[in-house]
Structure 1
Amino acid sequence: MADVKICGLSQPAHVTAAVQAGARYLGLVFFSRSPRAVTPAEAAALTADVPVGVARVGLFVDPDDALITATLAEVPLDIVQLHGHETPERVAALRTLTGLPVMKAVGIASVEDLPQLTDYGLVADMLLVDAKPAPDAALPGGNGLSFDWRLLQGRRWPRPWMLAGGLTPANVAEAVRLTRAPVVDVSSGVETAPGVKDAALIRDFVAAAAG
């Protein structure tokens, strides 16, 4: 059984579907090149009625201080997610700047990538274990790629963590079984086209993750 984060939400109906299905985290993308991008004003409207206990997560890619500050002035985020090439030092600095929990995404393709989880775990509040994007990928995440989940078996890190990367309603139960992930994160796996979420797929994903 795992909690769920639905990332890349951009329509009110899909926020409602995620909340009603039982998702514990809602992801809002503040990265203009993403087909799932929203403005701070749009994000504020989307999450205005989110109930207590459901966390609003803002996804940023190598943001400067001005972007973070301006976004937080409009949207009461609960968690800042960093999905770029932020260094551990930058993660720590943004944690201080925002006063919010910070989650760092780390791309995994092989066992050589795993030590980064320990490094970032020393400064971040949460870790997002994702599939490493291809070198020429246009987006740092949301590409529908997975990695060998067996790499995570029996491993522990100093912070809470989420599993992402190529998860769908069809494979999430197996991913949770293999990794014991406490939380799973999905974006493209509950879409009918890039950026277009599907309420039925959201419900199916949350149910499958719950076991």
Structure 2
Amino acid sequence: MPAPAIKICGVTTPAILDAVIAARADHVGFVFFAKSPRHVPLRDAPALAARTEGHVSRVGLFVDADDAMIAEAVAAARLDVLQLHGEESPERAAQLRARHGLPVWKAVPVASAADVARAAAWVGAVDLILFDAKTPKGTLPGGMGLAFDWSLLAGWKARAPWGLAGGLNPANVAEAVRLTGAPLVDTSSGVESAPGVKDAGLVAAFCAAARAA
């Protein structure tokens, strides 16, 4: 089985971005959601994007964002991928893909087998389905360090490219890949020393562990 692609999400500083590049991750995630401790102000996005050139693809994470917000972020960060993390519909995802000419990923929150089954609605509307842990009501979507029962994915028929997120860290990512066969792994809080504060050593360890799986 080939090593999974690796995405480090919630990067906010040049130093950590350089660490992500040094660790040879495939994708870096920039969060455009003001309520998140990992939010990247639009004014900071161009400088971060410039450091990635030729190294990693730029994924912009949005939570029920309007057209103007997404267009501004696409331009500021020169995004390669749009990741939707809210209540967006398959129709909304397809609309954004057509408008911007960019791949669209959709995070699907999982707590039960029924949640996994509902991912079928996204096949054809998005380019990748990202299975993530469902967070408690009233909390932020994602970035909470929560994992779900990976065995729930055993019945998932990969009718579309997919990835695994939710509580992944250097200690468990290899096991997660072995159990699920995930072709892409995504971490945020799993490589942090505090909410929104990435740790370069943890980034390097996560990437090494994912590739070793």
Shared topology, TM-score over 0.5? yes
Matches of 2:145 and 2:78, distance apart in 1: 29
* Aligned partners of 2:48 and 2:77 also within 8 Å: no
1:83 aligned residue: 85
* Aligned partners of 2:117 and 2:156 also within 8 Å: no
Could you report, residue by residue, the CA deviation over 1:55-80 in whole angstroms, capped at 9, with x for unpaired residues? 10000000111111122222210000
2:192 aligned residue: 191
**1:133 to 2:149 alignment:** no
Could you report, residue by residue, the CA deviation over 1:34-74 in whole angstroms, capped at 9, with x for unpaired residues? 00000223122112021425210000000111111122222
Q: CA deviation at 1:128?
A: 0.8
**1:208 to 2:209 alignment:** yes
Partner amino acid, structure 1, of 2:45: A
* Aligned partners of 1:118 and 1:157 also within 8 Å: no
Gaps of 5+ in 2: none
* Aligned partners of 1:146 and 1:165 also within 8 Å: yes
Gaps of 5+ in 1: none
SS class of match (1:141): coil
SS class of match (1:127): strand
Q: CA deviation at 1:93?
A: 1.1
Matches of 1:179 and 1:119, distance apart in 2: 21
SS class of match (1:10): coil
SS class of match (1:103): strand
Q: CA deviation at 1:100?
A: 0.5
TM-score, normalised via structure 2 length: 0.95
Matches of 2:48 and 2:149, distance apart in 1: 34
- The alignment covers a number of residue pairs equal to 210
1:147 aligned residue: 148
